[in-house]
Amino acid sequence: MEKIIFYHPLREFVSQVFVRMGCPVADAALASRALLQADLRGIDSHGVARLSGYVRLWKANRINANPKVRVVHESPSTVVVDGDRGLGLTVAPQAMDLAIKKAQTAGTGWAAIRNSNHFGIAAYHAMKALEHDMIGIAMTNASPLVAPTFAVERMLGTNPICVAIPAGEQPPFVADFATSAAANGKLEILQRKNEEAPTGWIQNKKGEPSANPHELKTGGALLPLGGDRERGGHKGFCLGAWVDIFSAVLSGANYGPWVPPFVDFLAPPANPVGEGIGHFLGAMRIDAFRPSQEFKQQMDRWITRFRQTQTIDGVHAITIPGDPEREFEKERLARGIPLLPKVADDLQQLSSEMNIKLW
Amino acid sequence: MEKIIFYHPLREFVSQVFVRMGCPVADAALASRALLQADLRGIDSHGVARLSGYVRLWKANRINANPKVRVVHESPSTVVVDGDRGLGLTVAPQAMDLAIKKAQTAGTGWAAIRNSNHFGIAAYHAMKALEHDMIGIAMTNASPLVAPTFAVERMLGTNPICVAIPAGEQPPFVADFATSAAANGKLEILQRKNEEAPTGWIQNKKGEPSANPHELKTGGALLPLGGDRERGGHKGFCLGAWVDIFSAVLSGANYGPWVPPFVDFLAPPANPVGEGIGHFLGAMRIDAFRPSQEFKQQMDRWITRFRQTQTIDGVHAITIPGDPEREFEKERLARGIPLLPKVADDLQQLSSEMNIKLW
């Protein structure tokens, strides 16, 4: 049975877990906020469900809980950050702050980050720009699960992109999506429900279309956004490759098949080509392009017009990117966050092991 | 029967057509280079096939052949350009030069352009950055052909994105793709061949899946990259929306359903929300992130490793974005550009009408 826990006590728990790992208190608070943003926004695969994974990687000495994050290169609008093997959950926000600072003077600011770890959901980082009247961009590479068009080998992660754009009276436009046809979290849901996947999501180890959500355990792969070649899968490959190059080749992180796995039971590839995983973040000041109020009025008009799009059944309204996640956030802040039994058990185990009160 | 014409005489012809429209000689030369880059790279739908369309729009007074392109807003890393209703083929290169100049001092440079027209292929503009040791980005909005997920109304253009990234000994990575499942040019090819379209490209006016490549003439629409909702079409919608907002809301151009059509026989929408169509261009200096040689070595390694990806049949090699277009360019520079009969007729008519020698 599902367990329900409220946001604030859960965040307190997560924060204490990070402190127990050796994170400074401020870092732990930041990391817990970043991680739980996923649970609030309904991206259950990227939130507390991963907490024990972070702990295991830390135990395996693959996460540095107290990193010295440093700037290794910069220009008026760019900065390259070495995350010192820290949690992406704390490294990326620091890098985003630097990008925002660059944007304040240069109009735009761009941060390439190496030597980091998973940063939670991209939206958390991109959305930091909104409160500064800036557009935010966040992308990250990840360990390889996606096969390029015509390939049987997994070469790219699900490499998400988020673009967050402020509006006026309307809520912001926040598009956050994996560049694969489906995120791995979607497969996990199907596995739990014992359901088949739609065609176009997965291939088996021979490269044949498959509906088996367990296929990745036996050499299968996710397909890029678009699916097969005929339906534009090569464009999804382009997108994933773009994210990989910006996140890792610009920064000096590992790319493609060299990106280290997020799980402690798989060793990082031998002969790394860079350090850790990479992210790429950007902030663009609205008024570096046009007066902020003018822009926001037009964004309101854009959003309002798209909401009025004539729909197939004439009933359902078109979803503006960010709408579903906002609904989740409202609901879950009010009524609590539902935890799957396996996730609740995981947290219970951490609670006992670290002697931190959970319920 | 197809006609074959060599690049240089064709360019001379196109250039003279633009001069006859009233373009200054330098602009005409630039526009012909930009336009024919499409034919060289095998994107036949975007090259000379569109020349008579540009002429008709000019006759309809919807293209200003001698625009005063001006900067209307700027910051150290950004510039907003008003194209004065000029040819996108000349406006965009001027804006890209400004972005490159900004990047030289600020590390990155970004141009939002309004009051423009179609700019040919995005790759032409993005690739300008390569010779400066920069990454180039180009996107543009276009008249609405794509229905958002669950909609029957056409709200977005095929809104392409190009990212061009320099390498060392390897050729550059150049990904240039429509954010719809298929570009409109692909439908035109099927129409000419009298063939059906794969599922996931098109819907009819009721929003039902269709294989009829003529569907757009009777109220149908293209689907976003990904196809239907289950296969990630909402992500393609996010991408197209992103391009629309960056190209037009940042710059002050028309967006969404207000983007004026490229054809003279359809009037621009009443009550425009901006001026002309919009583009968004970017240039990022490699050494604003890391030493250029180091970056290029890693890009060579990235490309080399991806070329070695294990393929389904074990024979075909993986295509690196830009490979197919480079093959076309080599072939067509050497052996000429094949013109479909309809396109050859069109050019012949322009030739007679304007009294410019073609063959």
Q: How far is B290 from chain A (nearest CA, A)?
A: 7
User: What's the pLDDT score for residue B302?
Assistant: 98
User: What's the pLDDT score for residue B186?
Assistant: 86
Segment B127-151, tens digit of pLDDT? 999 999 999 999 999 999 999 999 9
Subunit contact A241:B309, Cβ cutoff 8 A: no
Is B318's Cβ below 8 Å from some Cβ in A? yes
User: What's the pLDDT score for residue B252?
Assistant: 98
Long-range contacts of A142-145 (CB under 8 A, 24+ apart): A142/A118, A142/A259, A142/A262, A142/A277, A143/A259, A143/A260, A143/A261, A143/A262, A143/A277, A144/A256, A144/A257, A144/A259, A145/A180, A145/A184, A145/A216, A145/A221, A145/A222
| Phi and psi at residue B32, to the nearest 5° | -70, -40
User: What's the pLDDT score for residue A1?
Assistant: 63
Segment B148-189, tens digit of pLDDT? 999 999 999 999 999 999 999 999 999 999 999 998 888 888
In a domain, A229, yes or no: no
Q: A322: which chain B residues are within 8 Å (Cβ-Cβ)?
A: none
Q: Is the pLDDT of residue B1 over 70?
A: no
In a domain, A194, yes or no: yes
In a domain, A190, yes or no: yes
Subunit contact B245:A182, Cβ cutoff 8 A: no
Averaged pLDDT for residues A174-195: 91
Segment A29-41, tens digit of pLDDT? 999 999 999 999 9
Q: With b meaning 16 or more CB within 10 Å and e meaning fewer, what string describes B28-58?
A: bbbbbbbbbbbbbbbbbbbbbbbbbebbebb
Subunit contact A284:B110, Cβ cutoff 8 A: yes
Cα separation, A99 vs A282, in Å, equals 6
In a domain, B190, yes or no: yes
Containing domain of residue A210, as a range? 182-222
Segment A207-244, tens digit of pLDDT? 999 999 999 999 999 999 999 999 999 999 999 999 99
Confidence bin at B214 (pLDDT 50/70/90): very high
Taking a C-beta distance cutoff of 8 angstroms, is the pair B210, B203 a contact? yes
Cα separation, A17 vs A350, in Å, equals 8
User: What's the pLDDT score for residue B58?
Assistant: 97
* Average pLDDT of chain A to the nearest whole number: 96
Segment B302-330, tens digit of pLDDT? 999 999 999 998 777 899 999 999 999 99
Closest to A91 (Cα-Cα) out of A19, A27, A142, A178: A27
Q: How far is B347 from chain A (nearest CA, A)?
A: 32
Into how many domains does chain A fold? 1
Residue with tokens 């569109």: B50
In a domain, A210, yes or no: yes
Is B151's Cβ below 8 Å from some Cβ in A? yes
Taking a C-beta distance cutoff of 8 angstroms, is the pair B80, B112 a contact? yes
Reported ipTM exceeds the 0.95 cut: yes
The CATH number linked to A208 is 3.30.60.50
Subunit contact A318:B148, Cβ cutoff 8 A: yes
User: What's the pLDDT score for residue A317?
Assistant: 82
Q: Is the pLDDT of residue B41 over 80?
A: yes
Q: How far is B115 from chain A (nearest CA, A)?
A: 15
Segment B187-208, tens digit of pLDDT? 888 988 889 999 999 999 999 9
Taking a C-beta distance cutoff of 8 angstroms, is the pair A116, A61 a contact? no
Confidence bin at A185 (pLDDT 50/70/90): confident
Averaged pLDDT for residues B30-52: 96
* Cut 0.90: pTM above it: yes
In a domain, A218, yes or no: yes
